[in-house]
Amino acid sequence: MKLTNFINGKWQDIGEEKYTSVLNPATGEKLAEVRMSSKIDVDIAVEAAVKAQKKWTLVPAPKRAEYLYEIGRLMKEKKGHLAQVLTKEMGKVIEEGRGEVQEGIDMAYYMAGEGRRLFGDTTPSELADKFAMSVRAPIGVVGLITPWNFPVAIATWKSFPAIVAGNAFIWKPAMETPMMAFEMAKIFEEVGLPAGVANIVFGTGSEVGTALIEHPDVKVISFTGSTETGRKVAELGGRHLKKVSLEMGGKNAVIVMDDADLSLAVEGIIWSAFGTAGQRCTACSRVIVHKDIKSKLEEMLLEQMEKLTIGNGLDEMVKIGPVINKAALEKIHSYTLVGQQEGAKLLVGGKVLQNEDLALGNYYAPTLFTDVLPNMRIAQEEIFGPVVSLIEVSSLEEAIEVNNGVKYGLSSSIYSKDVNKVFRAQRDLDTGIVYVNAGTSGAEIHLPFGGTKGTGNGHRDSGVAALDVYTEWKSIYVDFSGKLQRAQIDTE
C-alpha cells in the first residue's frame, strides 16, 4: 500500500518519487509506504488552498459545519476500522484506539455546533448614532503539524476549528502514523469537502514542516510535538511573523496526600503512567507522595503493576502496548540508566522486554523508581515512556513546590479528601490542566487543552479557545449619523 498526498481534492504526487516504510510497533511488520514530499508539493498544496479558501470563507459557517457533522457521522460508522488502523500503526491498545477515534468524533460534533455560534461581540460606541461590533474572521491558509501519539484526535483538535472558522489547511502528519491521515483524507473526500480546503502532505519536519512555516501564504502554524522541535518552529515562525500555536512536552505529576483514598490514587497513577505506554504528553511521570504513606503506596503500586498485561494492542485483553519505535526504546532505557546512576532506587521494570512474542516489537517494561530527588534528571526531563518516579515530601506546600519545579506545565493531579488542600492545590499548581482525585490524562475536547512554561506559548487546542488560533478579531464600526463624527478629538 502506497500513501499518496491529498492535494486539491486529488490523490497526487508531484515531485520526486520518494517513499519510506511505515512499521507496526507491535510486530515490526511493514504496513505501508508513505510519500516523502518536498517543497514543491507544499507549494502546490498552498496554491490550491489559497484558491479554495477564497470560496470557503463565503460559505455560511452553519453550512461549513454541516460537513463536520457528516465527517463525525462517517468516523462513527468506520470507528472499528479506524481504531484497528490506529492500533496497528501507533501501537496503543485497541480500547484506547476506539477511545481516540471517539475523541475525534466528539470534536467533529462539538466544532460543528460552533458553526451556529462563532460568537462575536456588540459593544456600545462612544459616539452617538454609531454601531460597534467585533467578529471572528477566518485567517486564510493554516499549517497543521501533528504528532504520532494521537494521530487522529490531535489532528481533529486543529483541523475542525480551522474548517468551521472558514480556513483551508495543509496538514503534515507524523511520518510514524500517516495511515490515519490517509483514512481522514478518504473521509474528507467522501463527504465532498470542496477541493483544496483540506490538504495532506506527507513528509519530514525538516522538509515539509519548514516549507510550510516559510511559505508566505500560510498564516498560522499549529504544532504539537516535542519542546525541542517546537522551539525551532517558533524561531522560524517568528522570523516569518507567523502566528504559531505550540503544544509541547510535559512532566506531569500526581500528588498523593496522607489523607488520600489510596486505592483510587493507585488506579489513577497506573492508568496515567502506563496507559498508552506512557506516550501521552499528559502522562504521569512523577508521583509526589506524602512521607507517611510512601511505603504503603509503593507496595500497592507494585501489586497492581504486576497485573499489567503487555503485548500487541489488537488483543482486547492487553492493557499496555509497545512504544513507537526502536529509537524510543533506546531513549527510555537510557533514562533508566541515568536514574540508576543518579542514585534513584529501581523497584521494578527498567528493561526492554524480549520474551518470545514480544521480541519483534518495541516493548518496555513498566518501570517504577523510588527515592527520587526532585532535581534528578529522571524527575525533570520528559521520558515519554512507561517510567514513573516517586518523590517523597512532607507537606502540601512542598508537594506543590516540587510539582512546579520543572520546566513544563501541562497537567497535574492531587489526591486528597481535604477540601481546603484541594482548593489550594488547584489554585497553586502551575499547569494548564489540574485534576482532583483523578490521574493526569483524559482531557475532554470541549475544554481548553494546553499548558504553561515549556509546554506551550499561551495558545490552546480544543474548547472554544481553539477558535482563537484559527480566527482573527475584526472590529467593525458603522456610523449612521450621516455626518463626520471624530473619535478621540477633545475640543475643550
Query: Residue 479: exposed, middle, or buried by beta-carbon count in 10 A (0-12, 13-18, 19+)?
Result: middle
Which H/E stretch holds residue 153? helix 153-164
Positions in the binding site for ligand UN1 (CB under 6 A): 103, 149-150, 154, 280-282, 441-443
Q: How far apart are CB 28 and ligand UN1 at their closest, in Å?
A: 24
Q: All 3 cell numbers of residue 274? A: 502506563
The nearer residue to ligand UN1, 71 or 277, going by C-beta atoms, is: 277
Find, among 365, 340, 352, the residue nearest to 274 by Cα: 365
Q: How far apart are CB 17 and ligand UN1 at their closest, in Å?
A: 33
Place of cell 513528509: 203
Radius of gyration of the chain (CA): 24
C-alpha–C-alpha distance, residues 264 and 254, integer Å = 12
Find, among 371, 56, 372, the residue nearest to 192 by Cα: 56
C-alpha–C-alpha distance, residues 70 and 222, integer Å = 24
The nearer residue to ligand UN1, 27 or 149, going by C-beta atoms, is: 149
Contacts of 24 (CB under 8 A, 6+ apart): 30, 31, 88, 89, 91, 361
208 DSSP assignment = I
- Catalytic, 228? Answer no
Q: How far apart are CB 21 and ligand UN1 at their closest, in Å?
A: 24
Q: How far apart are CB 271 and ligand UN1 at their closest, in Å?
A: 10
Q: Which of 96, 247, 382, 392 is catalytic?
A: 247
The nearer residue to ligand UN1, 96 or 468, going by C-beta atoms, is: 96
3-class DSSP assignment, residue 393: strand
The nearer residue to ligand UN1, 75 or 193, going by C-beta atoms, is: 75
- Cβ neighbours of 379 (radius 10 Å): 24
The nearer residue to ligand UN1, 82 or 281, going by C-beta atoms, is: 281
> Is the CB of residue 296 less than 8 Å from the CB of residue 304?
no
The nearer residue to ligand UN1, 183 or 382, going by C-beta atoms, is: 382
Residue 23, CB-side half-sphere exposure with 13 Å CA sphere = 14
Q: How far apart are CB 327 and ligand UN1 at their closest, in Å?
A: 18
One-letter amino acid of 413: S
Q: How far apart are CB 282 and ligand UN1 at their closest, in Å?
A: 4
Residues assigned a catalytic role: 247
